[in-house]
Amino acid sequence: MKFNNFRYIRKSFLIITSLLLVAVQLLSYWIMPAYANQGEDDNQRKTVRVAAYDADEIFVLNDSKNKKNGYAYEYIETIARYSGWDLEYKIYPGFTACINAVKDGEADLAYDVSYTEERAKYVAFPNEAMGVENYYLYFLDHNKDIVSGNLDTLQHKKIGVSKGTKQIEILKKWLEKNNVDAEIVEYANSAARRSALWAGEVDLNLVANRYNKPHFIAFGSIGEDNFYLVVNKARPDILKELNDAHRLMMSINPYFITDISKRHFAYASIRKSLSTPELQWLSQHPVIHVGCLADDPPFIYRDPKTNELKGASIDTMNRIFKVLYIDDVQLEFSMFDSREDMLKALRNKEIDLIQYFFDYDRAARDNVIISTDIYDAQLGLVRKAGTSYTDAFESLAYLEKFNVKNYTITNKNINNYVPCNTLLECMEAVHSGKATGAIGLGSTLAIYSQAYPDLEYTPMMETVPLCFATSKENVPLISMIDKGRGLINSGEIDAMIAAHQPIAPFSINKFISNNLVSCIFGLVVIISVIMVVLFMTITNRRLKAKNQLIDEQNTALKEYQGKLTQSLVDVKKADKAKTSFLFNMSHDIRTPMNAIIGFTTLLEKNIDNKELALSYIEKIQSSNKFLLSLINNVLEMARIESGKASVEESCVNLEKIVPEVYAVFEAQMKEKGLHFTYSLNVEHNHIMMDATKVREILLNLISNSLKYTPPGGSVSYDVTEEPCDTPGTTIFKVVVADTGIGMPKDFLDTIFDAFTREKNTTQSGIIGTGLGMHIVKKLVDLLGGSITVESEPGKGTRFTLLMPNKIAPEHLHHSLDDDKKEIDTSKFQGMRILLAEDNELNAEIAQTVLEAQGFKVEHAQNGVEAVDMLANSDPGYYNLVLMDVQMPQMDGYKATITIRGMQEPAHSSIPIIAMTANAFEEDKRAALLAGMNAHIPKPFDIHKLFSTIEMVMEHKDYYIRSNIMDSFKEKYTRMGLKCGYYIFRPSRKAETLYADETVLDILGCDTFDSFTAFSDGSIKNIVIVKERDEVTSKVDEIDSSSSYIGSFKFSITRRDGETRHLDSIGCRAYNGEEVVCFVYIVDITDIIE
């Protein structure tokens, strides 16, 4: 048996040896002529003249390094090397001149020549072409009239071509075949042709081969043809040497032509403009959501220092969109724990794109489409040092989410797979003996293996191609990725991967094992030092703590005693003020109330006397207004004292506001027999001021003069302008003077205190709460002005008011032309209102007013009844809800919250307006927080009611309560984090209206004023930047129940210099007067660090 085997082996050896000898002999016959020629030419080398011209990538006369370059240059130099030629390049202005030079014998060779029978008569063509070139039409990217592939956009365009080339005939046939009417313009060379394109003389250029230059976009290919290195007809020797050299060159490297094509033409694709479907897809997707496997360096990972997502996948996608010149798209990346989770999110349209394997079979099973391959991930193997390569596959650790075991690993017998969550776990599995080897991305394993001296790394032949995938309806997205990838060379992709390779982990265990004695000794020394320092520190702290406790107790005792003393003084003062206030109020309110009751009785008795009845009604209304002004004064004082009043500046015209104030008192002054005058003498009529508060100041001052000036006296009201040193600011001086009863000198010191009136005013029968002058002083201080008073009993009083105001820009002047417009109530016809009001009289009044304007009104007695009526109605039956707040069984806030939680969208999103006597700012905020659209105080102004209804119906979705806003607050509340809110108006430089105590605490602000000064240019500007149309439109797809402006995280430095990380969410709302932005804000610093 052994003998037979030996004979078989010997026989096989002889056969193989004979075949090799024959092959060598044949190869020598084939190669010998070329080498023989080389041997003959060693003694006398031949000089060959080449006609050259600058032709883009084909032949570049001077590149960036002042060297010749290009496809033809490398081809000719290689031929010359194998033929033994010395080359002499002769420069000509263009292609035609080069052909003529060879024809006339001035040159021996010309390149980039297509074959025609006419040319074959005067130049010699070799047996083989020097390459194949495609002919492309290119246009500039700023030319929006041409779209790649759209033949209609070529009609009546001019196309620049190089004179005398075969491309012209191919172009003419292509135009005729496709019924395109275009003008062909010939140029002497490619440089002239390009210049004409840049100058706008032509619309397109016809260029051979792929052309990947900035701003050049390919319309498409019109055909292809072989091109040759032609020879002078009189030099058959050169032609023969050219044929022999080409044959030898291709035998040595069959891929030579392919290799130099890749080097000198565009890497993989030509740049084309985006197609119409691609542009439409981008317009519908301003944000592209990309899914990637979690913690998968170098492709994607979270930077431990900045918490930002980084990786080669992010860089690649950004680069793809950059080379396609797509600047208005935002890429958002999300990490998933497994491929299955990514696919599920893709199918649910939560993301648009995912990382994927370049595998058409798997893509078909997963029902996705894939891009061209982006990366070729070479696999690597890690095994125990000293073990064989084959043994490493006995028990193989792999990255479970990468799922590499599904790929064929050739010639390997793998008995067991050990799944791991990270590559470091794979390394540990081999290190600990749980696995014999680990497989994964080679570049990463090579780095990680440096931390494990007992492990060895070996690269593998297998690669895993990676790409991107999306659902089948997103074909334009895949086509854009393919276009962009074609414009990025593999070297750039490799550089992106290398930039994000992880750092080899430091092995503390290995360090200790190598330096065990030194580590133990050092540890003993460190522990001893720590114990000594700790003992001394604890002893000192105890002594210091005792001393500090004693000092704090003494200080606290003194502060407490001081507070008790001050509290006693404040209590006595408050009790005195309360007694005075109740006395004044009981007297002052009784007066208009008596008038209302008396005239109502008279009206009832004289109802048939129309003239007398109208007189009584007018006096009742006057008493009503006065009673309301008394109440408003009390409320205004409460707002000012609590620090909740704010300045709301707007552009006003003094020529309008000054006469308006005069007109308020003109009739009353005349009726009382007073001489009332006013004057206005200013340079700047248009200024920025809080008109409401200034008007209130003037009304109180003039009203005071009206009250305390007897008949026959005079009251004057004069406004002048004073010089001011601050640019853009002026000072207005208002003087209100009268010849009334005057005040003693000792009373002038307390005139601006609350609840104070001069004694003889009560005796004279003049009514008032004693709040007017106190409110005036508070408002003047709030507006940054000053007020002084001069008075003498029996001679009169003079108030002087100085108010600094900014001069209004001219572009704001036109806004004053919009007077109070009448509401077109015809649009209300047939609209059905659900009125929730527990007071029958109020309900009757509101129902009568509304029905008179065409509304259909249905009345609910309380919140429970209102909720039931809406829930049991058909969708769209009610158009609007007017909701009282204080009602039995269920108040308006709870009713609104219940409505906003209804399942039926038409019910949950119905506009709701609070119509309540609760008129404080906090009441308005409470209404917004409950989910109402606006707030109207009682007693309501009819014009205000209808204007608010009109505005709310135009902004139906402007309310705060929504699922996404509530879930944000509930999420952080469950985590034990405080969630605050603030409100600002975007229309007035993001002026803050309110910030609650939680927001103040987060930002380290003691008061609202300090918050306003601190947050200017920071928080509010961040919100304004984030409030973009594309964000709003995207979120509207998620939750249409509010005008949502986005959820976003940012960092800010507190007033004390500490940096805090914040999360926030915001929406727009309508507060009954204007559109505001409402933002929740929460400090998440402690949960992300």
Mean pLDDT by 10 residues, the chain (1089 residues): 42 47 42 42 75 74 65 91 92 89 94 89 94 86 86 92 86 92 90 90 84 75 89 94 93 86 59 76 92 84 85 90 85 88 91 85 88 84 87 86 59 79 87 90 81 84 86 90 81 83 66 68 86 86 82 82 79 65 56 67 80 76 63 62 65 84 77 91 87 79 88 92 87 93 82 56 41 77 89 91 86 56 78 92 88 92 94 93 92 91 88 83 81 83 83 78 76 85 70 80 80 63 44 37 66 79 82 76 82
Contact 861, 985 (CB under 8 A): no
- Residue 636 has what pLDDT? 59
Report DSSP state, residue 202.
-
Q: Does an H or E element contain 681, and which?
A: strand 675-681
Q: Which residue, chain included where needed, has tokens 């940096």?
A: 1059
> Per CATH, the architecture of 647-794 is what?
2-Layer Sandwich (3.30)
- Residue 867 has what pLDDT? 94
- Indicate if the alpha-carbon torsion angle 316, 319, 324, 329 is positive or negative: positive
Report DSSP state, residue 234.
T
The topology (CATH level 3) of 276-500 is D-Maltodextrin-Binding Protein; domain 2 (3.40.190)
Residue 980: closest CA among 962, 1011, 1002, 959? 1002
Q: In the numeric block, which tokens belong to residue 256?
A: 């030579």
Q: What are phi and psi of 376, to 5 degrees?
A: -110, 100
- Indicate if the alpha-carbon torsion angle 52, 58, 62, 65 is positive or negative: negative
> DSSP per residue over 998-1054, as a string?
HHHHHTT-SSHHHHHHHHTTTHHHHHHHH--HHHHHHHHTT-TTSEEEEEEEEEEE-
Angle at CA of residue 223, ends 220 and 227, nearest 5°: 125
Contact 291, 418 (CB under 8 A): no
Distances (CA, A) of 979 to 171, 182, 636: 69, 67, 30
- Residue 378 has what pLDDT? 80
Q: Does an H or E element contain 749, and which?
A: none
> Looking at domain 964-1083, what is its CATH homologous superfamily?
PAS domain (3.30.450.20)
In three-state form (DSSP H/G/I as H, E/B as E, the rest C), the secondary structure along 606-662 is: CCCCHHHHHHHHHHHHHHHHHHHHHHHHHHHHHHHHCCCCCCCCEEEEHHHHHHHHH
> Strand, coil or helix: what is 128?
coil
Contact 140, 195 (CB under 8 A): no
Q: In the numeric block, which tokens belong to residue 241?
A: 């040497």
Residue 780: closest CA among 700, 688, 709? 700
Q: Is the peptide bond before 298 cis (omega within 30 degrees of 0)?
A: yes
Residue 468: closest CA among 328, 326, 288? 288
> Per CATH, the architecture of 47-265 is what?
3-Layer(aba) Sandwich (3.40)
> Which of 1.10.150.20, 3.40.50.2300, 3.30.200.20, 2.40.50.140 would CATH assign to domain 832-959?
3.40.50.2300
- Residue 288 has what pLDDT? 94
**Crossing angle for the helix pair 490-499 and 312-323, nearest 10 degrees?**
140
Number of H helices, E strands in the chain: 35, 37
If one counts every other C-beta atom within 10 angstroms of the C-beta of residue 268, the result is: 16
Q: Is 335 exposed, middle or buried (0-12, 13-18, 19+ CB in 10 A)?
A: middle
Hey, do 47-265 and 276-500 end up sharing a CATH topology, with the first three levels equal? yes
Where are the chain's structural domains? 47-265, 276-500, 647-794, 832-959, 964-1083
Q: In the numeric block, which tokens belong to residue 673?
A: 């027999």
